[in-house]
Chains A and B, each alone.
Chain A
Amino acid sequence: MLENNVEIKSSSELLKIVQELKNDGYRYATMICLKANDGHELIYVLDKNYVLKTLRYFVKPSEKPKSMSGIYLCALLIENEYQDLFGLTFEGLAIDFKGHLYLTPNSPKTPLA
């Protein structure tokens, strides 16, 4: 289990906590996506003074997770990556490559899904 891990139940709670952490001086390090049951698990990794905080959120099948790019602009690349590789659709992405950040129309679809 990761240190400083917080389970988040709803997307509105997730947005609220991420905004609070940003206000508290946390830097967006990355986001990890895992397959979990029929859905996906997202782990948001934030850093402050070399200490990581991880927020874990379960994305139900067919749910469209909210984009963090409105809070942390840098989230847009990793969210686009997961649209390519896992077939997720993030709502409110600042720049949406629509599944073609890395993959071309002839590439294998959602290779990590």
Chain B
Amino acid sequence: MTTVIPFGPQHPVLPEPVQLKLELDNDVVVGALPSLGYVHRGLEKFIDTKDYNQTLYICERICGICSAIHSITYARGVEQLMNVEIPERAEYLRVIWSELARVQSHLLWLGLFADGFGFESLFMECWKYREAVMDIMEMTTGNRVITSMCKVGGTTKDLSKEHIDIILKAIDNLEPQVENLEKVFVNNYTVKKRLVGLGVLSKQLAYDVGAVGPTLRGSGVHSDIRESPSWSIYKDLNFKAVIENDGDCYARTKVRIYELYECFKLIRNAISKLPAGEISIPVKGSPAAGAEAISRAEQPRGEVVYYVKGNGTKNLERLKIRTPTFANIPALLQMLPGIKLADVPVVVLTVDPCISCTER
């Protein structure tokens, strides 16, 4: 006989409300059903009243943690619609801020994850290191979270020589700190005991259920939108996707740890190649009626998909956003059966759930 118990919507490991109805046989999960709708804000409807420039500021408020890449992906979609080619310097600036955002997001997740499996001092350590990146965001854009550094046609902010020196110094300090974190997350006996072999998602299943990001790459699937032809700038920056093969909680953790080093490399390379010139071009007119575009980017949690359609006015006919956590929920439902109730929080956290993104 099985019992159904609710996991959430309020739970110590969940920063945002979502509920899983867990079907249990004794303390082993045999089934899970998601229950959403606690933070649905109707943003795709809300933009009916906003023009395409204002919509960018709605998009970056979908989520606090990945707001920078939301605005960049949206801007790229509208730029495609309107055949706008942005200045090269703006492309590089967008990469620098995107990768800084990924660093703070992964450090935030590592902290929450450590707290989730009961390692509170490690949580504080991760968040202490994250502050350095938040300070850079504040210094370079004026805000820690909603940075508004992107606009249709380029960026709103530039990096001065002084900013660049501070960023490079901060990364030089941060890298050995991340090496210290890696020693604990990757090598510590207790942490490994908690994560290895838990919540396994096979390579084939991860692909079939549409998983994205570290959830997909942790199962051995080589997929990172930064490698796609539409993001050729990453190829110039010598980007290499991080892949782990075991498909368990430990593998997904290692992907995020190793991605931090990749971020540092990308930021350094982007700064070393940062071209001089304008940071934006003026964009006039409106997206043509019937014009449509799909724009994708790699968020910290995985691939985000934006669809934009114009109607000949300043307002868009349709904006559709498929966020990474939305794609990872079916994968999560596949990871849970067979594990113990006590392990559910750890497994849920390894998809780095962002519910504000999911429900928009």
Contact = CB atoms under 8 A, between A and B. Distances in A.
A74 B210 contact: yes
Contacts of A27: 207, 210
The 4 A-B pairs with the shortest beta carbon distances in the complex, nearest first, are A50-B228, A74-B210, A30-B322, A102-B40
A55 interface: no
Contacts of B225: 50
A100 B37 contact: yes
Contacts of A32: 307, 318, 320
Interface of A: 1-2, 27-30, 32-34, 43, 45, 50, 52, 54, 72-74, 76-78, 85, 95, 100-104, 111-112
B313 to A, nearest CB: 16
Contacts of A111: 42, 45
B294 A52 contact: yes
18 contacts: A27-B207, A29-B327, A30-B307, A32-B318, A33-B320, A34-B317, A34-B318, A43-B307, A50-B229, A50-B230, A54-B294, A72-B208, A74-B209, A74-B331, A102-B36, A102-B37, A103-B37, A104-B37
Q: Is the interface of B mostly helix, strand, loop or mixed?
A: mixed
B45 A73 contact: no
Contact of A73 (B42, B209, B303): B209
Contacts of A112: 44-45
B305 interface: yes
B227 A50 contact: yes
Given A30-B305, A77-B330, A72 B210 contact: yes
A2 B305 CA distance: 14
B217 interface: no
Contacts of B309: 34
Contacts of B307: 30, 32, 43, 45
B33 interface: yes
Given A30-B320, A77-B329, A112-B44, A2 B37 contact: no
B186 interface: no
B210 A28 contact: yes
Contacts of A29: 210, 303, 305, 322, 327
A102 B317 CA distance: 22
Of A28, A74, A104, most B-chain CB atoms within 10 Å: A74
A62 to B, nearest CB: 22
A111 B46 CA distance: 10
A90 B92 CA distance: 43
Interface string B21-63: 0000000000001001100101011000000000000000000
B341 interface: no
B244 interface: no
Nearest to A34: B318
Contact of B37 (A43, A73, A101): A101
A100 B33 CA distance: 14
Nearest to B48: A112
B42 A1 contact: no
A28 B242 CA distance: 22
Nearest to B318: A34
Nearest to B228: A50
Interface string B291-303: 0111000000001
A30 B295 CA distance: 12
Contacts of B293: 2
B79 interface: no
Contacts of A2: 292-294
Contact of A102 (B207, B329, B359): B359
Interface in B200-237: 207-210, 225, 227-230
Nearest to B225: A50
A50 B307 CA distance: 16
B109 interface: no
B326 interface: yes
Contacts of A33: 320
Nearest to B227: A50
B87 to A, nearest CB: 25
